[in-house]
Structure 1
Amino acid sequence: MQENTQTPMMRLISLALGSMRTPPGRRRILIAYSYGILCHTIFAAAVIAMIVAMFFGMSESFGAVPYPWATLANIALVLQFPVVHSLLLTRRGGKFLGGLAPAGHGGTLATTTFAIVASVQLLALFALWTPSGIVWWRAEGAAYYIICAAYAASWLMLIKASYDAGAEVQSGALGWMSLAQDAKPKFPDMPTKGLFRFIRQPIYVAFALTLWTVPVWTPDQLALAVTLTAYCLIAPKLKERRFAARYGDRFEVYKRQVPYAVPMRGMRYDD
């Protein structure tokens, strides 16, 4: 069952490491660092692809599917991320993630394998998109610099929000670092510091802002922005259900004090 869920690359890592006649401790460390390198390499590639592709309004990419089939291909690319991303957060999705690691390490490496899959999804979306070739508007002069500053600020907000939520979880580092130390992953507490004092979903808000603060507008960018913004508004509802089940009254108190996505005067969380 688990072998069927492994990607070819991960299966190769498992077989290679499994065939090594090394002590269990050293083999565990080799697995941890192999998954760590794979995770952060794909993560970095995905982030770079996102920043560059959206900066040009999705008008520059490697996709070359002929039209009208390109429309269907692009729809599939933009939908696969929110659909699969959400499914992986279910119990069945957790079992799937467990099968992406060598036997016995699936639970520990769950955050790492989740980050790997999400990064592959994002890399596919932004690198394989087939541009329509239509450019509606391109910022020039002072507007160009103002919008570029807003775009950079949106990405900095996303980085800050991810740090406030627990950078080790968001980047996938928690899994492989825990395995390397032969320790059970210790997840950060419910995020209430930093940007989480003012809105409950700063990561989703920041990601949505990166979609709209671009200096080039095309039909491609509009379709992407509308679809993923809708996801950013809806998906956190499911996340908050999990938080309510996990943290109980503590989350309900936090929820009453802090707005969902738009900061409001006088509303913030104070421990």
Structure 2
Amino acid sequence: MSIAMQTGPNSPATTVSLAARLLTLCYGGLAYLIFLGTFLYAIGFVSQYVVPKNINTGPAPSLMTALLTNLVLMSIFAIQHSGMARRGFKQLFARFASPAIERSTYVLLASLSLILLFWQWEPMPSVAWHIDNPILAGIATAGGAVGWLIVLYSTFLISHFELFGLTQVVSHFAGRMVEPMKFKTPGLYRMIRHPIYLGFIIAFWCAPTMTLGQLLFATVTTAYIFVGIYLEERDLVAMFGSEYRRYREKVAMLVPGIF
């Protein structure tokens, strides 16, 4: 699914002071930079590259302590991520703050909940499986990289900067109105409805060595993705009606032509 945002010449933002609009722009820009750093750290955290703490580093507590801690951390992210994405929350937010910063606030809090997860994650280093064959191990590693690329590429297909709040704050600063969302299906969205989610699943599961901590993370996040798909598609049907229903009937959810 792709949503295109367009701007018009007039907006209530023109009645807001320059200082207030500049503050909104800086807030949205800061939220985006924090997201970008968090996303890059997430790649290193899950794939175990470069970052000072990844999913398997640090002293390992008891299995039960690690399990409970990690489930709580993932639950915090899931509740924030899904709750703030619902239309009801967006309407409530608009009663107390400018709609121009709603997406930036969502992105900022999602990033902070992920930072908390990275910081407090407890390793579970026991090995669930290990691929000994170097060729197969290389394929698994490459698959993880492909998954992250699918995620990033798919965000640009559906307007990367609108998705992470920059379009809204820039339009607000310029005094232009963001017009109603339009439905379109570019690139990968012609083959599957949720390529971003597919990319995450590939990135999380493609590992030549899978520890219990990685297995827990991949299992819980995959389950959450399916819950997220259900909630997101319910909102999209409410927003686009029969147009999205027809799209859902014709295009697979995650695997082209299958599922």
Report matched runs for 1:108-123 at 5 Å.
Answer: 108-123=100-115
Normalising by structure 2, what TM-score? 0.81
- Letter of the structure 2 residue corresponding to residue 203 of structure 1: I
Residue 229 of structure 1, CA deviation: 0.4
Deviates more, 1:67-76 or 1:150-159: 67-76
Q: Give 3-state SS (helix, strand or coil) of 2:183's partner.
A: coil
Structure 1 pair 186–65 and aligned structure 2 pair: CA distance change class (3 A): farther
Partners of 1:93 and 1:262 lie apart in 2 by 31
- Identity over aligned residues, as a percent? 26
- Determine if contact 1:53/1:60 at 8 Å carries over to the other structure: no
Equivalent position of 2:8 in the other structure = none
- The one of the two structures with greater contact order (alpha-carbon pairs below 8 A, sep at least 6) is 2
Q: How does 1:1-271 map to 2 (within 5 A)?
A: 25-56=17-48, 58-60=55-57, 66-67=61-62, 68-94=64-90, 97-98=93-94, 105-137=97-129, 141-186=134-179, 188-264=181-257
Deviation at 1:243, TM superposition (A): 1.3
The alpha-carbon deviation at position 187 of structure 1 amounts to: 5.7
Q: CA RMSD in A?
A: 2.7
Alpha-carbon spacing, 1:127–1:45, altered in 2? closer, same or farther (3 Å)? farther
Q: Which runs of 4+ in 1 moved over 6 A?
A: none
1:61-110 CA deviation, whole Å, 9 max, x = no partner?
Answer: 6xx795454432211111112222111123453256558xxx6x521111
Gaps of 5+ in 1: 1-22
Alignment check: 8 A CA contact 1:112 1:174 kept: no
Return the structure number with greater strand share.
2
Match of 2:9 in 1: none
- Retained in 2: the 8 A contact 1:197–1:258? yes
Q: Give the structure-1-normalised TM-score.
A: 0.77
- Runs of 5+ unmatched residues, structure 2: 1-14, 49-53
1:202 Cα offset (Å): 1.3
Structure 1: distance between partners of 2:116 and 2:86:
22
Describe the SS at the equivalent of 1:190. strand
Tell me if structure 2 keeps the 8 A contact 1:88–1:97. no
Contact 1:45 1:123 in 2 (8 A): no
Alpha-carbon displacement from aligned partner over 1:213-256 (angstroms, at most 9, x marks no partner): 13331101101101110111221111111111111121122122
Q: Is the 8 A contact 2:32 2:104 kept in 1?
A: no
Change (3 A) 1:139 1:98: farther
User: What is the CA distance between 1:52 and its match in structure 2?
Assistant: 0.9
Q: SS at 1:59's partner residue?
A: coil
Deviation, 1:136, is 4.4
Distance 1:143 1:124 in 2: 33
Q: In structure 2, what is the Cα distance between the partners aligned to 1:214 and 1:180? A: 44
